[in-house]
Chain A
Amino acid sequence: MNLIAGLLEPTAGSIWLDDVRLDHVPPEKRDFGMVFQNYALFPHMSVADNVGFGLSLRRVGKAERRERVQKALDMVQLGSQAAKRPSQLSGGQQQRVAIARAIVTEPRLVLMDEPLSNLDAKLRIDMRTEVRLLHQDLGLTTIYVTHDQAEALSLADRLVVMREGVVQQTGAPQEVYESPDNIYVAAFVGYRNAIDGRVGRDGRIDIGDASLVVADAGDRLGGAPHAVAMVRPDDVTIAAADAAPGEARANAIPVTVRVSEYQGRVFAVEAQTAGGTTVFGYSETLLQPGTAAVASIAAESIRVYGEDAPHGAARAAAAEAELAASGVPA
């Protein structure tokens, strides 16, 4: 993000925008807008002067400047706060001023660096919708960096998942969500269960305690001897072991319940297989910790990834914490 904005000089490679090489152009000559994680509003200026700063540098006349500032502030619903100092506003309002400041010059490219990460959960969701609406109304090309899966999926027209500076997958949000290219991307888009196994015959994955039937086996295995099976908690049903097995359950894994939390309607369950793998799933009924239970997973909801060595799951779990995604609504 800093490289695109021009705040850092690249040590290798080049940056292009519309066939113009940008990487040696100073930030002030790039005509971009940027929203910072910590807002970075000028504390000694009023809200209106903050928003009008870029316009005054572009020598926009006073009357037109006032009009455009007011329009931008109205767009973020802060029209009545123009005369206040940033310190008199709440965090959400400050971030909206920062957004207004970034878009008022109608820049070629808007950069948003985790703009919502300093807001509390409810405000974050409200602001997310507002950012989406603003983008729909103005159509400004925006690069949005976030660690938040829901933000990435809901805001992006095009999603780029990066890990340690390397692009992992690019595509529409649905595409990335439905068929992640590797375990890191899968971990980022919510495949929280990562189960190690060996590749068996006819598309089965042997995970020690059980063997899983997998619908999409093949293309991502690439003939590797080991595999990691990734499953969303939503697709794992956990039920007590002694409950009547109405029908023969597909891919049933015996587990022991460790934690069970009521989340309204269902219980979120964390359980462990005999081999020590943690399984996250949902249960219809309350399961006491220590209860023997069965986790069942539909064959088509499993994504498997080939591995040359065992224990790939640990990497997926570690990756979940560090992954960053950037969406490029084009």
Chain B
Amino acid sequence: MTTSAAERRDLGSWIRARGYTPTVWLVLPGVLFMVVFFIYPVIYGLNLSFQGRSGGISAYLDFFTNQFPHDSGSFQTLWTTLALALPSALICLVLAVPIAWRLRRGVRGVRVLTAIVMIPMTLGSVFVAEALNTLLGPAGWLNRLLLMLNLIHEPLRLTGNFTGVLIALVLTGFPFSFLLMLGFAAGIDPSLDRAASILGAGPTQRFWRIDLPLLLPGITITFALSFVLAFAVFPSATLLGNDAGPTRVLSKVAYQEYSNGNYANASATAVIMAVAQLIVLAIVFLIRGRLYRGSTAGGKG
């Protein structure tokens, strides 16, 4: 009895010495969850995508040669999706970085401002799409105002096309990038700005030489995340765009194939979506790897 107890203790300490503690078992439910709800569906979907018209990679070939039964231009949607997601993520950043930088020290009313900024995010894309249709549509307020002021002679086409979807994507994506950037900007040690200004740097020089380099890692992360968000766009593209042609996006193709029972094609489209995102993310993180990523503090606090 005593020996076995001792042995058991030895085994225990052997396990602990390798950095495993009994608490490790607490991750088990999480691992199970991942396997059941993430890894299994991914493998299932991957497997399904290889069961196209004539098996193997035929579903992928069909995608790239535009031979899906319910989509005449499936390959084109890959470029459409990228053409929507990349600029919208970029525009969000270009808007969010300077505003977050200005607000990094906190300004009177910054809470109210963040609340207002967050509203489009909480309302959801359908609500935003409806609002934009009434505001920017051919008979919307903006066009009526511009016509009334004689600034234009026929309504601007801001909805039902590429522009409409891009505006909607920027509007829903901006709060997200802004909040992320505000966090990064507020994390920069304020004494660095003060040190730079005493050394002779004006506000512009401080932004370009101190704050922007320290924000770059955060900028890349924000870009990556808002790109991923915009890439899966579906409601905005359908409601504000023209999903029969110019703003037909990948998720729409997948939806179309899926709802017509063509699961292999839908899965192949989903895999292509994932790979396209991964390629963009890989490029972003490759750039990020070459940047300074250390602390944003100027020394002991």
Contact = CB atoms under 8 A, between A and B. Distances in A.
Interface of A: 5-7, 26-34, 36, 38-44, 53-54, 57-58, 85-87, 91, 94-95, 98, 101, 105, 111, 118
Given A38-B298, A39-B298, A94-B299, A57 B197 contact: no
B197 A86 contact: no
A53 B191 CA distance: 15
A100 to B, nearest CB: 12
Nearest to A31: B200
Contacts of B301: 38
Given A43-B292, A44-B214, A118-B300, A36 B197 contact: no
A58 B197 contact: no
Nearest to A119: B300
A42 B194 contact: no
B5 interface: no
Contacts, number: 97
Interface residue tally on B, bucketed by range: 20 to 34
Contacts of A31: 200
Nearest to B189: A40
A57 B199 contact: yes
A57 B196 CA distance: 10
Interface string B188-226: 010110111111111001000110011000000000000
Contacts of A118: 299-300
B294 interface: yes
Given A28-B198, A40-B194, 10 more contacts: A34-B195, A36-B298, A38-B301, A39-B299, A39-B300, A40-B192, A43-B294, A44-B292, A54-B200, A105-B199
B299 A40 contact: yes
A111 B296 CA distance: 23
19 contacts: A7-B194, A7-B197, A7-B198, A28-B198, A28-B202, A33-B199, A34-B198, A38-B298, A40-B189, A40-B299, A41-B299, A42-B196, A43-B214, A43-B292, A53-B209, A54-B200, A57-B200, A86-B298, A118-B299
Contacts of A94: 299
Name the residue in A34, A42, A54, A105 with the highest tally of chain B Cβ atoms < 10 Å from its Cβ.
A42
Nearest to A49: B209
Interface in B252-301: 292, 294-301
B295 A87 contact: yes
Contacts of B189: 38, 40
A53 to B, nearest CB: 5
B199 A38 contact: no
Nearest to B291: A44
A44 B211 CA distance: 10
Interface string B156-196: 00000000000000000000000000000000010110111
Contacts of B209: 53
B198 A27 contact: yes
A43 to B, nearest CB: 5
Contacts of A57: 199-201, 205
A31 B200 CA distance: 7
Given A5-B198, A53-B196, A43 B298 contact: yes
A38 B194 contact: no
B299 A86 contact: yes
A57 B52 CA distance: 64
Smallest CB-CB A-B distances: 9 pairs: A39-B299, A40-B298, A54-B199, A40-B191, A44-B292, A40-B195, A57-B200, A27-B197, A34-B198
Contacts of B202: 26, 28
B14 to A, nearest CB: 37
Contacts of A98: 299
Contacts of B298: 36, 38-43, 86
B22 to A, nearest CB: 37
Contacts of A28: 197-202
A117 B299 CA distance: 13
